[in-house]
Structure 1
Amino acid sequence: MKIRDLEYFIELVKDKNFSVVADRFHVSQPTITMAINRLEEEYGATFFIRDHVHHQIKVTKIGQQYAQHVKTILRELAIARQEIEHAKLNKIRFGLPPIIGNYYFPPLSPQLLREGLIDKLEVTEAGSKNLLQMLLRGELDMALLGSASSLQQPELLVKEFACYPFHIIVSRHHRLAQKKEVQFSDLKGQSFILPDADFIHQQAFRQICRLAHIRPKVIYRTNDIHIIKNMVAENLGISFLTELAITPNDRLADLALADLRQPSFHLSLATRDNEILSPAKEKLWKTVLNYGAKVKEHD
């Protein structure tokens, strides 16, 4: 079996046209035909039904099933090529979401420096949802990820090491500023300033709105947490942020949520479950998790 035959097969399943596939790979049409014949002969199965009269082809049920496996094979081979090429550079492709990068990662950095890991990191900053997909595609070796519930992903090895509640922040001049906690349902009619769709906050916010049976008034979204805090400080609205992103230096009032049922901000370290960690990656994995355990003990 040739890898190129599998690539021809997948494109033919998609386009259902021998000529189109041949043109895409810059080969002759008989080349594609022979490749498909080789696959069908190897398995003793018919993957395509040819209608020579109408110049059409149809993918059989067994052909559709085989295509699912071939997609997985080609995806894993592409990931393997990326891993091999990147291993030559002795770098670790590391995903870091904005909030985790701004508020959790800096205190961890001195330890990474002492372990000789900082200069090995090739950091990609993006929202947790995007980083998760990059990890699954093999574009990252490891990532810190935020989630609104414990992260369950069959293709990944995931270790959750911290969990933070979500809080409400308001201006010190807001009528709620003197409160220590608030029921989310009491915020009906308030104007919210929120992180945009790249953040896990949106999923958590939808969840708590649904639990509290309110339709929120969202006046502004941005991926810049500092802008959110500044707008809230100016009493232009209130916000819903993980406790991780709230510091004593913020010119804000911080209210805990009194709701019995509420989402949390889960912090996890993840890598693909079939990745054999290099010594540097193993050291990074242990360093991040050990730091998380110490922070949890301190809390």
Structure 2
Amino acid sequence: MTLTELKYIVMLAKEQHFGRAADACHVSQPTLSVAVKKLEEELGAAIFERSKSAVYITPLGQQIVDQAERVMEQANVIKELASSGQNQLKGPIKVGAIYTIAPYLFPHMIPFLHQHTQGMPLIIEENLTENLRPKLRNGELDAIIVALPFREPDVVTQPIYEEEFVVLMPKGHNWTKLTHIETSQLSTDNLLILGKGHCFSDQVTEACPILNEDEYDTARTIVNGSSLETIRYMVSSGLGVTVLPKSAATNINSDLLEIRPFAHPAPKRTVALAWRASFPRPQAIDALSQSIRDAYQHFPV
């Protein structure tokens, strides 16, 4: 049994397709297939059930894959321990962030991080919270930037900053006559929000309880995408209004769009940094945390 074989079964369980799993592991499909079969023979257990069109993980296979992920995580810890004895800021740090944070935070954060660490290599990724979570656990990412609430065993979560929400509307909209928007008003216009899987949409509906399920068809347009920028363009076309985190409401075209704050108390979110408790480079985490704080203080207002 090797770490490479464990990596193959973890990826195959994720992709449920030999071709895609092989591509993700940068090997040929026969190489991956032979390695998986060899591991199953060594263990004397069927990890996967195969058909002509799909691959399914068996109940016992799921337990094996779960343990394989833990083994890979600990193997990464060994590698990190070895490198941390030299210089904790020398090796690359892999950071993920949710879609509604990454494009607005990273451009400001990265220069500060390079300044604090004398150019520590950085690998970044945008994704949904539900996809960042397992990547953090298995070592594909070293830290992730998410919105609270976020709970995960053996993971440290540190709140960094709070960010208020604002309302974005087309130029000439009736609400532009107002100085502040009440949350109750959001049910009176077509509200454009991201689809399921985006915690930001959940936070909007939680902050505005009048947007209940009965109004899902009449008061909202659901945009099943990852980009708030798409929604911004839709608002500028006059298709409705939207709610944005304040950092996403910068550099707008004032000829087409206007922004209004919410009336007190304004809905808001808490942005946090999360990392494995076993991650052996605390200096890198400290530098990342400080860089996020520095970036937030320099957000355009």
Alignment coverage as a number of residue pairs: 243
The aligned amino acid for 1:201 is: F
Match of 2:250 in 1: 247
Q: C-alpha separation between the residues in 1 aligned to 2:162 and 2:205?
A: 19
The 3-state SS of whatever aligns with 2:166 is strand
Aligned with 1:26 (options 37, 41, 56): 41
State how 1:53-72 maps to structure 2 within 5 Å.
none
The aligned amino acid for 2:271 is: L
Q: C-alpha separation between the residues in 2 aligned to 1:271 and 1:125?
A: 16
| TM-score of the two chains, using structure 1 as the length reference | 0.66
Which stretch has the larger CA shift, 78-87 or 161-170? Answer: 78-87
Q: Unmatched 5+ residue regions in structure 2?
A: 7-36, 46-58, 84-89
Q: C-alpha separation between the residues in 1 aligned to 2:43 and 2:245?
A: 58
Aligned with 2:263 (options 258, 262, 265): 258
The aligned amino acid for 2:105 is: Y
* Post-superposition CA distance 1:173-212 (Å, at most 9, x none): 2111221222222232421222233432221123134356
Shift of 1:159: 1.1
The 3-state SS of whatever aligns with 2:220 is strand
Q: C-alpha separation between the residues in 1 aligned to 2:197 and 2:104?
A: 17
Q: Percent identity?
A: 17
* Post-superposition CA distance 1:110-145 (Å, at most 9, x none): 222223465511212212332233213332111111
Shift of 1:161: 1.2
Which stretch has the larger CA shift, 151-160 or 114-123? Answer: 114-123
Question: Does structure 1 residue 219 correspond to structure 2 residue 221?
Answer: yes
* Post-superposition CA distance 1:12-61 (Å, at most 9, x none): xxxxxxxxxx98611485xx7xxxxxxxxxxxxxxxxxxxxxxxxxx9xx
State how 1:5-20 maps to structure 2 within 5 Å.
none
Contact 1:161 1:293 in 2 (8 A): no
State how 1:146-157 maps to structure 2 within 5 Å.
146-147=147-148, 150-157=149-156
Contact 1:207 1:263 in 2 (8 A): no
| TM-score of the two chains, using structure 2 as the length reference | 0.66
Contact 1:168 1:240 in 2 (8 A): yes
State how 1:7-156 maps to structure 2 within 5 Å.
25-27=40-42, 74-84=68-78, 90-116=91-117, 118=119, 120-147=121-148, 150-156=149-155
The 3-state SS of whatever aligns with 1:201 is helix
Q: C-alpha separation between the residues in 2 aligned to 1:272 and 1:152?
A: 12
Q: C-alpha separation between the residues in 2 aligned to 1:211 and 1:273?
A: 39
Match of 2:278 in 1: 274
Question: Does structure 1 residue 285 correspond to structure 2 residue 284?
Answer: no
